[in-house]
Structure 1
Amino acid sequence: MSNVATLLDPNSADEIEYALAAGMSDDLPIPYAEIMDPYRTPARFLPWLAAHHSVDLWFDDWPDDRKREMIAQCAGVSTLYPASPLAALKGTLVGLKRYLAFVDAEIIDRVAHPSRFTFGRAVIGLTPIAHKAFVAHYLVKLKLTAPKNRWQIGRSAFGRSAITSVDLEPIRRAMRAMTTAKSPETLYSVTFAWRRGITFNDNITIDGSSAFGGYRDRQRLD
């Protein structure tokens, strides 16, 4: 920055004006463009930059790459989704999918009003039984980590492992992502039971790849 003190009239300027001019003339070595770039800013500035761009889904234990991409998407400068700010997609299925991707979850199936038919449910008139109007229903897939030496049928665990439960934090994060992604006036329901037991109707082969008592991925809400 140029020295604005040279613009003052030496015959009329007082000490305060010179002090203000000196403060405005400081040449501070701050790489502003780099700091404001979510892909280049130092890691210690990421929380500040997230607040600056009104990021509303954030976990401190995320890797820096994920934090940078969240900031970039909220700022509309993402290299993955150019010129597509995440906040502008709230209330849309596209926005929901992008929010869920940040918590390692994905939508497998969705049933939303005014769908006339829901698999496994009867229909009277135009609305399926138990299908609440204007409520979207989602089947969401995510990974849960079971504790080592957990209890299973035919097995038992001792000591600390016997009382250790499955970590449900991924579900809590997915719920938070879905709440963040929706518009305030909308409602939804979700199930994370994306696996089901194998039945005779699955016509499983006898090559050893599947067995009764095992599980299969669900492909729809039925």
Structure 2
Amino acid sequence: MSDVTALLPDSAGRFEKAMAAGMSDELPVPYADIIDPYRTPPRFLPWLAAHHSVDLWFDDWSPDRKREMIAQCAGVSSLYPASPLGALKGTLQGLKRYLAFVDAEIVDRIAYPARFTFGRAALGRTPLGHRPFVAHYLVKVALKGPANRFQIGRASLGRQALTLIDTEPLRRVKTAMTIAKAAETQYTVTFAWRRGITFQDNLPIDAGHVFGGFIDRARLD
């Protein structure tokens, strides 16, 4: 029988009816929807995140981003089916997926063990002065400057003139990278994904490239 409340006498109270409903085959709760990260009501998202041990989470994320994070940790993501995010910790694939949640991407990386090194000098791919046995990353993440930041030759009054660039995106990237790495590994990260134009770049001086301007970096060295 799907509803055992039919067996209760007319004198049954609220507690007895609730117990009977809990033992019924068909619960009066949309359990299948609640445990589905793509269909659960928004108020259940924090609970479902805790249930699946989500360790990267920001309250100001959009509901869609929160749902996708839960789905990836639960291994039911429509983007990465049968590939739980937690199982990829310590891998490059896992790091890329974690960084995508904080709107960042890897531009370049140097992972040890690398080519032969002698002291601080390195041959081939490893730049001078990089710490050995540490993975080095060049990460691209966008920052937003204040609306009325001070510029030479232009006056700016009011509180906005003293507003600094919001570095919260950098903090979130570092948090994501720390969560994504294996416990025994170390890394360094630089966010200088743009550099000044030099004569060695041999770029045409036009509307797109001017002296004193910047271009994207493609390598750490």
Aligned to 2:146: 147
TM-superposed deviation, 1:131: 2.6
- Distance in 2 (alpha carbons) for counterparts of 1:129 and 1:219: 17
The letter for the 1-side match of 2:138 is: L
Name structure 1 gaps, 5 residues minimum: 7-14
1:198 touches 1:216 (CA, 8 Å); kept in 2? yes
Is the CA contact (8 Å cut-off) linking 1:34 and 1:40 kept in structure 2? yes
Report whether the alignment pairs 1:169 with 2:168.
yes
Aligned residue in 1 for 2:99: 100
Q: CA deviation at 1:132?
A: 2.1
User: In 2, distance between residues paired with 1:198 and 1:128?
Assistant: 20
- Residue in 1 that maps onto 2:207: 208
CA distance in 2, matches of 1:83, 1:190: 30
Displacement after TM superposition at 1:48 (Å): 0.5
CA positional deviation for 1:161: 2.0
In structure 2, do the counterparts of structure 1 residues 145 and 117 end up closer, same or farther at CA, with 3 Å as the change threshold?
farther
Report the counterpart of residue 59 of structure 1 in structure 2. 58
Inter-partner Cα distance in structure 2 for 1:149 and 1:77: 45
**Aligned counterpart, 1:138:** 137
CA–CA distance in structure 2, aligned partners of residues 194 and 21 of structure 1: 61
Q: How does 1:56-95 map to 2 (within 5 A)?
A: 56-95=55-94
Match of 1:179 in 2: 178
Give yes or no for the alignment of 1:188 onto 2:196: no
2:196 corresponds to 1:197: yes
- 1:157 aligns to what? 156
3-state DSSP class of the match of 2:115? coil
Once the two structures are superposed, residues 80-108 of structure 1 have per-residue CA deviations (whole angstroms, 9 ceiling, x without a partner) of: 00000000000001000000000000000
Distance 1:54 1:113, change over 3 A: same
Output the CA distance in 2 between the equivalents of 1:101 and 1:5.
Answer: 52
- In the alignment, the residues of structure 1 paired with residue 127 and residue 211 of structure 2 have an alpha-carbon distance, to the nearest angstrom, of 32
CA gap of 1:209–1:128, structure 2 versus 1, over 3 A, is closer
**Partner of 1:11 in structure 2?**
none
Structure 2: which 5+ residue stretches go unaligned? none
Is residue 38 of structure 1 aligned with residue 19 of structure 2? no
Deviation at 1:184, TM superposition (A): 0.9
- Give the AA of the match of 1:208: A
Contact kept, 8 Å, 2:35 with 2:48, in 1: the verdict is yes
How far 1:157 moved relative to its partner?
A: 2.6
Report the Cα distance in structure 1 between the residues aligned to 2:95 and 2:191, rounded to whole angstroms: 15
TM-score by length of 1: 0.85
Q: How does 1:108-127 map to 2 (within 5 A)?
A: 108-116=107-115, 122-123=121-122
Identity %: 68
Separation of aligned partners in 2, 1:215 and 1:183: 35
Partner Cα distance (1:68, 1:98) in 2: 14
